[in-house]
Amino acid sequence: MKRLFGALALLFLAPILARSLNPSLNDDVLGLIVFKADIQDPEGRLVSWNEEDDSPCNLNGVKCNPRSNRVFDGFSLSGKIGRGLLQLHFLRKLSLAKNNLTGSISLSLAQLTNLRVIDLSENSLSGTVPDDFFTQCGSLRSISLANNKFSGQISENLSSCPTLASVNFSSNQFSGLLPSGIWSSHGLRSLDLFDSLLEGEMPKGLEGSNNLRTINLRKNQFTGQIPDGIGGFLLLRSVDLSENLLSGSLPNTMQKLKLCNDLNLRKNSFMGEVPQWIGEMRSLETLDLSENSFSGQFPNSIGKLKSLKVLNISMNAFTGSLPESMINCENLLPLDASQNLLTGNVPS
Ligand SMILES: *[C@@H]1O[C@H](CO)[C@@H](O)[C@H](O)[C@H]1NC(C)=O
Ligand SMILES: *[C@@H]1O[C@H](CO)[C@@H](O)[C@H](O)[C@H]1NC(C)=O
Ligand SMILES: *[C@@H]1O[C@H](CO)[C@@H](O)[C@H](O)[C@H]1NC(C)=O
Ligand SMILES: *[C@@H]1O[C@H](CO)[C@@H](O)[C@H](O)[C@H]1NC(C)=O
CA pair distance 191, 224, nearest whole angstrom: 20
SS3 label, residue 237: coil
Phi, psi of 17 (to 5 degrees): -60, -45
- State the closest ligand 4 atom to the C-alpha of 312, by its place in the atom list counted from 1: 1
Ligand nearest to C-alpha 101 = 1
- Name every residue whose Cβ is closer than 8 Å to that of residue 98 and which is 6 or more positions away in sequence: 121, 122, 123
CA pair distance 319, 299, nearest whole angstrom: 11
CA pair distance 2, 246, nearest whole angstrom: 45
CA-atom Rg of the chain in angstroms? 25
CA pair distance 311, 336, nearest whole angstrom: 7
Ligand 2 pocket, 121 CB below 6 A? yes
Helices (H) and strands (E) in the chain, counts: 3, 22
Residues of the chain with pLDDT under 70: 1-27, 38-43, 45, 61, 63-86, 206-209
Choosing from 336, 339, 340, 346 the residue with most ligand 4 atoms within 8 A of its CB, the one to mutate for a pocket test is 336
The pLDDT score that the predictor gives to residue 84 is: 65
Pair 146, 121: CB distance under 8 Å = yes
Q: Say how many Å lie between the CA of residue 143 and the centre of ligand 3.
A: 19
Residue minimizing CA distance to atom 7 of ligand 1: 100
Ligand nearest to C-alpha 214 = 2
The pLDDT score that the predictor gives to residue 49 is: 75
pTM of the model: 0.83
The pLDDT score that the predictor gives to residue 83 is: 64
The strand pair at 63-64 and 71-73 is best described as: antiparallel
Any bridge partners for residue 286, and if so which? 262, 310
The pLDDT score that the predictor gives to residue 200 is: 97
Domains in the chain, ordered, with CATH? Answer: 1-102 (3.80.10.10), 133-272 (3.80.10.10), 278-348 (3.80.10.10)
Residue minimizing CA distance to atom 1 of ligand 1: 100
Q: Say how many Å lie between the CA of residue 169 and the centre of ligand 2.
A: 9
CB atoms within 10 A of CB 49: 20
Ligand 1 pocket, 78 CB below 6 A? yes
The pLDDT score that the predictor gives to residue 18 is: 34
- State the closest ligand 1 atom to the C-alpha of 43, by its place in the atom list counted from 1: 14
